[in-house]
């Protein structure tokens, strides 16, 4: 997300705690819920700091949605300037 050259970690776009949740099961297939993106450790920690796993799964389940978040945009802009 921040475009820095960093070791990457796997982020489940649907956190594992969502997989057995009724709402998620109704709205997404098992295959869809396996989706993830590779992001660096600091971006990864940050998105988990500012959003609960349910929010991440529900509202931020694509890279585009994550990048559209105002707080994440601010972090990414800050990081790029350093």
- Contact set with Zn ion (CB under 5 A): 2, 40, 43
Q: Which two tokens stand for residue 81?
A: 């300037």
CB atoms within 10 A of CB 35: 14
Instruction: State in angstroms the smallest separation of the CB of 68 from Zn ion.
Output: 16
With respect to Zn ion, which residue has the nearer C-beta, 21 or 65? 65
Distance of CA 74 to the CA centre of its chain: 15
Nearest distance from residue 43's CB to Zn ion, in Å? 3
The residues, any chain, with a CB within 8 Å of residue 19's CB and separated by 6 or more, are: 25, 30, 33
Return the number of the residue (6 or 25) whose C-beta is nearest Zn ion. 6
Pick 11 or 15: Cβ nearer Zn ion: 11
In whole angstroms, the minimum distance from the beta carbon of 20 to Zn ion comes to 29
Report how far residue 71's alpha carbon sits from residue 81's, in angstroms, rounded to the nearest whole number. Answer: 16
């Amino acid at each position: 997300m921040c475009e820095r050259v960093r070791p990457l970690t796997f982020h489940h776009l649907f956190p594992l705690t969502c997989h057995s949740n009724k709402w998620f099961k109704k709205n997404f297939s098992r295959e869809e819920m396996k989706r993830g993106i590779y992001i660096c450790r600091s971006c990864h920690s940050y998105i988990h700091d500012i959003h609960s796993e349910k929010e991440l799964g529900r509202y931020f389940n694509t890279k585009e949605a994550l990048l559209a978040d105002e707080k994440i945009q601010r972090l990414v802009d800050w990081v790029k300037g350093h």
